[in-house]
Amino acid sequence: MNHNLFATFEKRMHERGDAPFITTREGRDYRYSDALDMVARLAGALVELGVGPGDRVAVQVDKSPEAILLYLASLKVGAVYLPLNTGYTSEEIRYFLGDAEPALFVCRPASLDAATQVASSCGDVRVVSLGTAADGGLMDVVAAASPVTDCLERDANDLAAILYTSGTTGRSKGAMLSHGNLGSNAEALVSAWRFSADDRLIHALPIFHTHGLFVACNVILMAGASMRFLPKFDADVVFEEIAQGTTMMGVPTFYTRLLKDPRLTRESTANMRLFTSGSAPLTADTHEAFEAATGHAILERYGMTETNMNTSNPYDGQRIAGTVGMPLPGVEVRITDREGKHHDALPQGEIGMLEVRGPNVFQGYWRMPEKTAEELLEDGFFITGDLALIDERGYVQIVGRDKDLVISGGYNVYPKEVEGHIDELGGVLESAVIGLPHPDLGEGVTAVVVPAEGATPQETEIIAALADKLARYKQPKRVFFVDSLPRNTMGKVQKNQLRERFKDTYAASS
Ligand code: MLC
Ligand code: AMP
């Protein structure tokens, strides 16, 4: 049996024939039959460009139907899809290309020169562009290439994708996801959330992360449903579209922004059957206010790049605010000693480290066997770095994070990476980067800096100096200066004290 995820999708796509798959506001629509045809042609282009089984295909392009079809074409030829955040700077891209050694880098047409320059320092990487109007060099290759008809045979454990996730050491790690990881999770979600061919998903997420790419697109493909592809989240556009949708998946910022709008009512959302939230904690206040405004209880779920989705509130049962529900079918969770002294499950109700096991859990970190062994235990459980408890009803509550991580608008920012760049700047002795409560983004990235002796660095200078180095979402929104950082007797910076001291920084922002 062919375990290639695309083989499963392909069967479903044939069945759906002329039914809509992706539609856009510009009318650049694909029926399933059109999509099958374009995937075959894109697969032909990949082969023509020298991509073979197991080769990485790195992609940093704006959201478009063709970008999703490129993902499917990459699966079809047995390549490993490697999506990259469109916000990454050339410096960040250099690291990913150097580490993943892709055979091909697909970039935006406007970035072709810069991308070619970066790639030239990263070995044998071919560069080609893809634009949002089905333009760019890739489409020229498509026009000349012969379509690929057969879907390459793959085992369930063969790699389908690598998604980079920053590490606590500051060095990004490539999470290796197999065909089996992605397929099993999509199947579990289709059934848990009752997706059917009649669903129309309002897709406003970016497509370079687990949420917008796998949770959203794989579920739609598995169910044979359709999605309305919006370039990004924009509340005005969502309100124009919502009457035609049945479902929406979002990060909490989507819901706090919708809630601020008087157009959010029972009537405007009457057609919708499901709103899901994840990637960051949804506050109980937002959950309750949304239900009061619309009658819909947002269904919160919990996942990670390394594990896909782990737990979900029930579709039919009670969706409890402040919880992430119960393990999905086939997924096991346990709460263990936070210090990692042992991995036996703690008594029910105790807070500890959340560990997960199941067919959803990744294959390890790309070329980092030691890091993999630290986090993926021999018994198959993965140490998430999230602190949680399981309540008396069996619902998981995420109560904090053991890892030093900020989540801003659903994007992860690892303080260590930002601190490393700030500490290199002239006039800076050292820094600590923290997340502070932010009404729009959940957490706002904030830097606390100790100036070098005699130096008087300015907030604007520090932020400006990071512009070429770090994606915009990782850059501090504010920088504060202090004489010294609070430390414990072991010399560790007491970030809790800094979070307490500056906690009201964004209280009035929106
Ligand atoms: C954009 N900016 C952000 C930001 N997004 N800054 C901090 N945090 C963010 N998340 C920058 C912009 O570049 C802009 O910079 C400025 O902040 C203001 O932008 P905005 O117009 O307010 O932002 P917007 O474009 O509306 O984007 C906000 C957002 C978006 C929340 C809609 O970030 C988003 O779609 N987030 C979803 C992230 C996601 O999909 N995460 C899933 C990860 S997978 P300037 O300089 O132009 O002013 C995962 C696993 C799981 O975690 O469980 O799902
Ligand atoms: P990422 O590495 O981008 O995949 O982010 C995964 C992290 O996002 C998890 O380890 C959690 O810390 C966080 N996360 C995802 N979903 C939720 C949720 N529903 N509630 C709280 N945290 C979440």
Chain segment 61-101, per-residue pLDDT in tens: 999 999 999 999 999 999 999 999 999 999 999 999 999 99
Helix (H, G, I), strand (E, B) or coil at 37: helix
Residue ID of nearest Cα to ligand 1 atom 24: 233
Give the ligand 2 atom nearest the CA of 398.
21
The yes-or-no verdict on residue 340 having pLDDT over 90 is: no
Q: Are residues 246 and 330 in the same domain?
A: yes
The average pLDDT across 315-333 equals 97
Span from the CA of 408 to the centroid of ligand 1 (angstroms): 7
CA distance 91 to 84: 13
Span from the CA of 280 to the centroid of ligand 2 (angstroms): 5
The CA-CA-CA angle for residues 375, 380, 382, to 5°, reads: 35
109 lines ligand 2 (CB under 6 A): no
Q: Are residues 323 and 469 in the same domain?
A: no
Task: Write down the pTM of the prediction.
Answer: 0.97
Span from the CA of 153 to the centroid of ligand 1 (angstroms): 37
The average pLDDT across 473-486 equals 98
Residue-range definition of the domain harbouring residue 269: 200-401
Q: Please give the tally of structural domains in the chain.
A: 3
Residue ID of nearest Cα to ligand 2 atom 7: 304
The average pLDDT across 502-509 equals 92
Q: Are residues 265 and 350 in the same domain?
A: yes
Q: Are residues 410 and 397 in the same domain?
A: no
172 lines ligand 2 (CB under 6 A): no
Residue ID of nearest Cα to ligand 2 atom 10: 304
Which of the listed residues 127, 154, 181 is the one where a domain comes to its end? Answer: 154
CA distance 353 to 359: 20
Span from the CA of 254 to the centroid of ligand 1 (angstroms): 10
The yes-or-no verdict on residue 395 having pLDDT over 90 is: yes
The CA-CA-CA angle for residues 358, 364, 369, to 5°, reads: 140
CATH value at residue 334: 3.40.50.12780
Q: What is the pLDDT of residue 123?
A: 85
| Best CA proximity match to 379, nearest among 329, 319, 334, 437 | 334
Which of 164, 279, 320 has most ligand 2 atoms within 8 Å of its beta carbon, as the pocket-test mutant? Answer: 279
Q: Are residues 476 and 450 in the same domain?
A: yes
Ligand nearest to the CA of 397: 2
